[in-house]
Amino acid sequence: MARVDGCFHLASAVGVQLICDKPLESLLKNVRGCDTVIAAAARHGVRLLYTSTSEIYGKDSIGSLTEDSDRLLGSPQKGRWSYATAKVFGEMLAYGYAREQGAEAIVVRLFNTVGPRQTGVYGMVVPSFVRQALGQEDLTVFGDGSQSRCFAHVFDSVAAIVALFENDEALGEVFNVGASMEITISELAQKVIERTESTSQISYVPFEEAYEEGFEELGRRKPDTAALEHLTGWRPRLTIDDAIDDVAAFMRSHRSEAVQFAPSG
């Protein structure tokens, strides 16, 4: 850490499947990793940007979420919430070092970042759907598909992260990073089929069959990015269509590595 100009802490044990199947592993890896990296950056006076997650808002599905929105988590006995708890721990470390020791720390909360090279191994929905569509398999939608998300292309997310990292006014603050266009998971599945020109159909699987005990689904997840836009002038340039096309193009060009995109278990 002493030899670098800045630190982007992007690493995380992530994915709904991993969180539900191995909540302890997810919790310990994220907590210990955050402690190690954030403390080292503070100790050496290195500017750090810590990537948190929209998961920290929990089950709050009312309108667009601002950085100050209340958090509504389920029971700590539910494995799903181990990830949100671990990421909040990282946020609070960053805030603590910034406010009490003057460390240069910035927190961003990512909302469903997608794009080429992302895999569906741990339940990432866009690469999972694209892989199934390219293989002419049924697209597996968990639940009734009415749950909605906002997907941001990775190129837009990276642009936002870099803009914040380079802005001194962002120090000690937290920012949502994501797109604002909502789409239901059923609509997403249909869009993937259309854009990949697949003959696939959509198969609906109840949540209780898809996940182990401890899973709780979220109805909506939409970011308010006014703070980011006001400080940096950032606006998303790419759409979910662009993300689907880029993921499909990458998978088509890496068919020999298809094992990377197969679902776990």
What amino acid occupies position 190? Q
Which three-class secondary structure state does DSSP give residue 94? helix
Place of tokens 């190129």: 155
Q: How far is 48 from 10, CA to CA, in rounded Å?
A: 10
Specify whether the CB–CB gap between 148 and 221 falls below 8 A: yes
Q: Tokens at residue 75, please?
A: 């029971």
What amino acid occupies position 65? L
Q: Which among 50, 57, 83, 122 is annotated as catalytic?
A: 83
Q: How far is 193 from 196, CA to CA, in rounded Å?
A: 5
Report the DSSP beta bridge partners of residue 72: 58
Q: Establish whether 83 is a catalytic residue.
A: yes
**Long-range contacts, stretch 169-174, CB < 8 angstroms, 24+ apart:** 169/231, 170/106, 170/231, 171/47, 171/98, 171/104, 171/105, 171/106, 172/95, 172/98, 172/99, 172/105, 172/106, 173/106, 173/107, 173/227, 174/52, 174/67, 174/91, 174/95, 174/106, 174/107, 174/108, 174/109
- Residues recognised as catalytic: 83
